[in-house]
Amino acid sequence: MAPGLVEPQVQPTTTSTPNTVIKATGNMHSYVPGRTIVKKHDDTYEHEDLRPRFPDIKWPAYEEIPYVDKGQLGDPSFKNLLADATDVFDYNPKIGTEVHGVDLATLTNAQKNDLARLIATRGVVFFRNQHNFDIDQQRELGKIFWRTTQVWKMSMSYSLAKGSPDLRALFTPTFLWHSDVTYEIQPPSYTSLKVLSGPPRGGGGDTLWSSQYAAYDMLSPHMQRYLESLTALHSAELQAQGSRDLGRTVRREPVTTEHPLIRTNPVTGWKSIFFNPGFVTKIVGVPKTESDHIIGLLNEIVATSPEIHARFQWEEGDVAFWDNRATVR
């Protein structure tokens, strides 16, 4: 007789259950969250000269400049960049690659071209323990890819009064997803970030990237064709108003720029949505209700599709490069 076809026989239990209830006074496993030790800098910080600054300066309006993506010169197999690599692995099939054994401080021009191609292909690329790669070398590498930010030591930073709630609580989870300054007439292709000091793995501060290539692929063919016919408005107004509200200088008059909702990456030839929850205010040429629904749909895909995300746990000396055209974070 085949197994599983016999009716199970119910056996009476002889085990008695005491008429008592265990009352826990705390977590029964004595779990204490937050075991990771995090440095406290207090009033001293070894990288004080690199802290964000907000000088009272003005920048000129944007102008379009000629641009050739260095990734187009890279080898499709990345053979120059990965010649000395000791390990290379992908975070998932859609996005994210980590490379070990390559010193970013000693890259040749051929390796730099391969790096640009790898970033455009995988969306975001990670290198750990790059202690030889100082900020001047990082800036010079950035210049190889394109012009860099004019005042490169400046960054967003907020000082909170004692007892004030975190400013991030003012924003929705989807709004926090963004790519850099997409309101510019030529948004940056690549961005790099190196962590000089921060919590160790397990101490928080992780960064998530979402693939815009994969987001496009998640759409039906009908929706892909529809979105390819549309453009979106990317506005700097909200960011500028935030600076004004804090009494800070607006370094460049805010602009609103119209970009295609679907772009083709010049390096890979792949299509991606070019959508920024932080800066897109409207889909052009459709009623507001329809525009709001398109924005809501793309927000949902970006923020709630873990299969197209890569999550990176930083340690001191780690470096990430990402393609702003093909990712949000």
Lowest mean pLDDT among 240-249, 287-296, 315-324: 240-249
More confident residue, 105 or 248: 105
Q: Strand 309-312 relative to strand 207-211: parallel, antiparallel, unpaired? A: antiparallel
Q: Strand 262-264 relative to strand 271-273: parallel, antiparallel, unpaired? A: antiparallel
Question: What are the angstrom distances between the C-alpha of 70 and each of 65, 109, 127?
Answer: 15, 10, 19
Question: What are the angstrom distances between the C-alpha of 297 and each of 176, 219, 223, 277, 294?
Answer: 16, 10, 11, 11, 5
Question: What are the angstrom distances between the C-alpha of 238 and each of 168, 232, 329?
Answer: 15, 16, 19
Q: Is residue 28 part of a domain?
A: no
Q: Give pLDDT, residue 312.
A: 97
Q: Is residue 25 part of a domain?
A: no
Average confidence (pLDDT) over 81-100? 97
Q: Is residue 109 part of a domain?
A: yes
- Using one digit for the tens of pLDDT, what is the confidence trace for 295-309? 999 999 999 999 999
Q: Give pLDDT, residue 77.
A: 97
* Residues 6+ away with beta carbon under 8 Å from 276: 177, 178, 179, 182, 234, 328
Q: Does the pLDDT of residue 252 top 70, yes or no? A: yes
Q: Is residue 139 part of a domain?
A: yes
- Asked if 249 and 242 count as a contact pair (C-beta separation under 8 A), the reply is no
Q: Give pLDDT, residue 20.
A: 56
CATH of the domain at 86: 3.60.130.10
Range of the domain at 296: 75-156+171-328
Q: Strand 327-328 relative to strand 190-194: parallel, antiparallel, unpaired? A: unpaired
More confident residue, 57 or 268: 268
Q: What is the rounded distance in angstroms from the CA atom of residue 184 to the CA atom of residue 148?
A: 13
Q: Give pLDDT, residue 213.
A: 98
Q: Give pLDDT, residue 238.
A: 81
Top mean pLDDT of 109-113, 179-183, 186-190, 193-197 is at 109-113
State percent of the chain over pLDDT 70. 79
Q: Is residue 20 part of a domain?
A: no
- Asked if 112 and 315 count as a contact pair (C-beta separation under 8 A), the reply is no
Q: Is residue 36 part of a domain?
A: no
Q: What is the residue-averaged pLDDT of the chain?
A: 83
CA end-to-end span of the chain: 58
Q: Give pLDDT, residue 251.
A: 82
Lowest mean pLDDT among 70-74, 173-177, 184-188, 292-296: 173-177
Q: What is the rounded distance in angstroms from the CA atom of residue 265 to the CA atom of residue 281?
A: 23
Helix ranges (H only) for the chain are 109-122, 135-145, 212-217, 221-228, 237-245, 288-303
- Asked if 321 and 180 count as a contact pair (C-beta separation under 8 A), the reply is no
Q: Is residue 83 part of a domain?
A: yes
Burial status of residue 106 (CB atoms within 10 A of its CB: 0-12, 13-18, 19 or more):
exposed
Q: Is 256 helix (H, G, I), strand (E, B) or coil?
A: strand
Q: Is residue 23 part of a domain?
A: no
Q: Give pLDDT, residue 146.
A: 75
Domains identified in the chain, total number: 1
Closest CA to 246 of 143, 121, 139, 158: 158
Q: Does the pLDDT of residue 165 top 50, yes or no? A: no
- Asked if 327 and 123 count as a contact pair (C-beta separation under 8 A), the reply is yes
- Using one digit for the tens of pLDDT, what is the confidence trace for 38-50? 677 667 777 777 7
* pLDDT category of residue 13 using cuts at 50, 70 and 90: low
